[in-house]
Chains A and B, each alone.
Chain A
Amino acid sequence: MSIPPCLLHVRVHNEEHNFGIWLPLFLAWLIVAVLLMALLPLFILLLIIAFPFGWGEFMLLLGPRLYNILCALRGLKVDVDKTDEKVEILFV
């Protein structure tokens, strides 16, 4: 089973700042999971309403597809190296 990235590494180096920070994304996922659990009854209600209008399948599949996107972010790396500024973003 694939899991979303647990950490986000951001490094900024310019004239004013020079820092690298590891953001614990797994803590954010925990909060999101609790929120989703709380909103689950409302989502089920919306799903029941949406199905006769043809949007049910879309709503049902949207969650797993977005979760797949989140999981696939693991390994994404962006480096921007300019003359006076350097930024690095990495999903781990």
Chain B
Amino acid sequence: MTENQKKILEMVADKKITADEAYRLLSLIQPSSDAPDNGIKIPKPAPKYLRVIVDTEHNIEHGYDKGPAHINIRVPVALIRAGVKLASLIPPEAYNQVDEKMKNRGIMFDLHNMKPENVEELIQALNDLQVDINGGTEKVRVYTE
């Protein structure tokens, strides 16, 4: 129980506020009550790996069904960081061509927005990322660890 919650309960006990008011106040301070007592929220450590797991029941090779397949890829986050930094070297003329080709394939992704200074933000955002795609015979899971 935090100091704020204690104070609210004391105010109810002293009949300074009603139960309804206490409930409203408690619900307002609820988010901070999840944080440690000093009120400082400890950030999650940055993820180290991006995990991509693909499970398929039908592995079609040369027109033949070779049965189920399981693919598990562990990509170091440092590789993503290094990749984005390398991509920043691409000349602007090449950017436009890449964007156009990606749009032609239905991928709406603007490489201009991918800058090295945004990488850390992107990696931190990956922390909360979990993608689960269940497509009947195929399952894809993407998450960080």
Contacts and interface: CB of A to CB of B under 8 A. Distances in A.
A69 B85 CA distance: 9
A75 interface: yes
Contacts of A78: 71-74
Contacts of A74: 76, 78
A80 B71 contact: yes
Contacts of B73: 77-79
Interface in B87-120: 89, 91
Contacts of A80: 69-71
B40 interface: no
Interface in B45-87: 48-49, 59, 66-76, 78-79, 81-83, 85-86
Interface residues of A, number: 21
A66 B85 CA distance: 10
Contact of B66 (A65, A66, A81, A82): A82
Interface in A30-82: 58, 61-62, 65-66, 68-69, 71-82
20 contacts: A58-B89, A58-B91, A62-B89, A69-B79, A69-B83, A69-B86, A72-B76, A72-B82, A73-B76, A75-B48, A76-B79, A77-B73, A78-B72, A78-B73, A78-B74, A80-B70, A81-B70, A81-B71, A82-B66, A84-B67
Q: Shortest 10 CB-CB distances between A and B: which pairs? A: A83-B67, A72-B78, A72-B79, A79-B72, A68-B82, A77-B74, A81-B70, A75-B76, A72-B82, A65-B86
Interface of B: 48-49, 59, 66-76, 78-79, 81-83, 85-86, 89, 91
